[in-house]
Copies of this chain bind each other. A is one copy, B any other.
């Protein structure tokens, strides 16, 4: 029977949702608005791709999803904080995200900044809480450090600065790749690497899974650029054609639309090739690679 990715994603996303609900509860009292703003963006029905990648990597090496659920939630919280801050008026100034008004449109800029700060900070509390007994503290500490490195000043935040400062300027293909390796790729690699570590990966397995995650992160971004050009807002749930409006460098502007599709397929092929040493337990990772470029939102 063919592997059913849609069902797999639905099942794993449900595990993630339940853990997020528990880890980021609704609170009463004077800071109620903070938890409301955090949950507004966190529980807005995203694809949960980063947590699912972490779980799939954990399972590919024989671990159980439960070994990495807290880590998986931390990934989604970091991803969500970055979206809230990126949407701010002083950044990309977006009004729409996942088909709903952006956080600052609903809660105001101050609370949106703070909701992002709190999601980022709480992510490290949750990542530092081993999901189950049996994960060694040494391993958990290592995963926390790698997660922070991927999200921080040499990873995701650096990518956002390069993106902002590069608006209206031409990028070479190498510069664009560096930008996306930081802005998207680093967290993909941390997701797959952390999930694999928490699942008990050997050194060799870890290297192979990182070689899977690197092209996957880039493929995901190329597909994002293509969606921005090709799709309509009501389908994607956020404003489209905004890259061109803002003079942002994208793969379609550098390689053309057909060239970008071909490049994305080549990246998926490379990602899947890195999985050759793995058995059928890596089937979800293989299918996720194809999904990254075939998705419609």
Contact with B along A143-161 (1 / 0, CB 8 A): 0110111011110011011
Q: Per-residue 0/1 for A67-88: is the Cβ within 8 Å of any B Cβ (1 yes, 0 no)?
A: 0000000000000010001001
Residues of B near A130 (CB, < 8 A) are 141
**A31 adjacent to chain B (CB < 8 Å):** yes
The segment out of A32-40, A270-278, A279-287 that lies at the interface is A32-40
Residues of A88-116 contacting chain B, CB below 8 A:
88, 90-91, 108-111, 113-114, 116
Q: A128-B144, A164-B110 are in contact. Are A175 and B121 (CB under 8 A)?
A: no
Q: Contact between A88 and B114 (Cβ–Cβ < 8 Å)? A: no
For window 161-186 of A, CB contacts with B under 8 Å fall at 161-162, 164-166, 175, 178, 182
Residues of B within 8 A of A160 (CB): 114
A137 at the binding interface (Cβ < 8 Å): yes
Q: In the complex, what residues of B have CB within 8 A of residue A122's CB?
A: 148, 152-153
Report the minimum CB–CB distance from A32 to chain B (whole Å).
9
Report Cα–Cα, A129/B145, bound state, in Å.
7
Asked if A188 is at the interface (CB within 8 A of a chain B CB), the reply is no
> In the complex, what distance in Å separates the CA atom of A147 from the CA atom of B128?
10
| A293–chain B nearest beta-carbon distance, Å | 27
Which among B27, B138, B158 is the interface contact of A34 at CB below 8 angstroms? Answer: B158
Q: Is A220 an interface residue (CB 8 A)?
A: no
Do residues B162 and A30 form an inter-chain contact, with CB atoms below 8 A?
yes
Which residues does chain B contribute within 8 Å of A162, judged by CB atoms? Answer: 30-31
For A140, the chain B residues whose CB sits under 8 A away are 137, 141
Closest beta carbon of chain B to A148's beta carbon, Å: 4
Contacts of A144 in B (CB 8 A): 124, 128, 141, 144
- A118 in the interface (beta carbon within 8 A): yes
Write out the residue numbers on chain B whose beta carbons fall within 8 Å of the beta carbon of A141.
Answer: 128, 130, 137, 140-141, 144
Q: List residues of chain A with CB under 8 Å of any chain B CB.
A: 24, 27, 30-31, 33-35, 38, 81, 85, 88, 90-91, 108-111, 113-114, 116-125, 128-130, 136-138, 140-142, 144-145, 147-149, 151-154, 157-158, 160-162, 164-166, 175, 178, 182
